């Protein structure tokens, strides 16, 4: 094998050094700067993406907080409207109840007045009829004819009226 022949060692070492230097120069001047630039670009992109993600997360939190605040305000407004509407309905109901009570009281008084008038009329009519019955009964029982006025007076007295 010629590689292990010692007379070729000097030229092999020379070419080894030349090749190593050329490869080293190619790698250090061309390949490694490109690779390091690519790595640096990737690192910058990752950092930019992380910064954007952090910014978006912060914005999302702000939007969420604004949403929660708006939702809370909407709930408070809804509760306020609900209370106001309930109060209005209660006031309207109280007003209607009061009007109904007044109307009912008025109709009750009118009905009581009509009942009292009918009672008075019935009692007057009853006294008159009772007087006629008493006059007729007296005429049939004792054969005496008493006057209508006297019979009605006796009925009034018997019913607890005036004498």
pLDDT given for residue 47 in this prediction? 97
Rounded Cα distance, 2 and 108, in Å: 139
As a whole number, mean pLDDT of residues 44-50 equals: 97
Report whether 124 contacts 145 (CB < 8 A): no
What are the residue boundaries of the structural domains of the chain, listed by start? Answer: 43-158
What is the pTM (predicted TM-score) of this model? Answer: 0.44
Handedness of CA 129, 130, 131, 132 (dihedral sign): positive
Helix (H/G/I), strand (E/B), else coil: 161: coil
Phi-psi group of 109: left, alpha or beta (phi > 0 → left; psi -120 to 50 → alpha; rest → beta): alpha
Q: Could you tell me the pLDDT band of residue 130, with boundaries at 50, 70 and 90?
A: confident
């Amino acid at each position: 094998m010629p590689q292990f022949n010692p007379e070729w060692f000097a030229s092999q070492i020379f070419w080894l050094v030349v090749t190593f230097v050329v490869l080293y120069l190619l790698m250090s001047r061309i390949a490694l700067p490109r690779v390091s630039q690519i790595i640096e670009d990737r690192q910058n992109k990752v950092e930019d993406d992380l910064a954007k993600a952090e910014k978006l997360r912060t914005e999302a939190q702000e939007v969420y907080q604004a949403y929660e605040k708006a939702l809370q305000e909407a709930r408070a407004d809804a509760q306020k409207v609900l209370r106001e509407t309930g109060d209005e309905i209660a006031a309207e109901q109280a007003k209607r109840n009061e009007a109904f009570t007044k109307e009912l009281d008025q109709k009750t008084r009118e009905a009581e007045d009509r009942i009292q008038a009918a009672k008075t009329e019935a009692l007057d009519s009853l006294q008159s009829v009772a007087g006629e019955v008493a006059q007729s009964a007296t005429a049939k029982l004792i054969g005496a004819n008493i006057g209508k006025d006297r019979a009605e007076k006796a009925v009034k007295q018997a019913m607890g009226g005036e004498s």
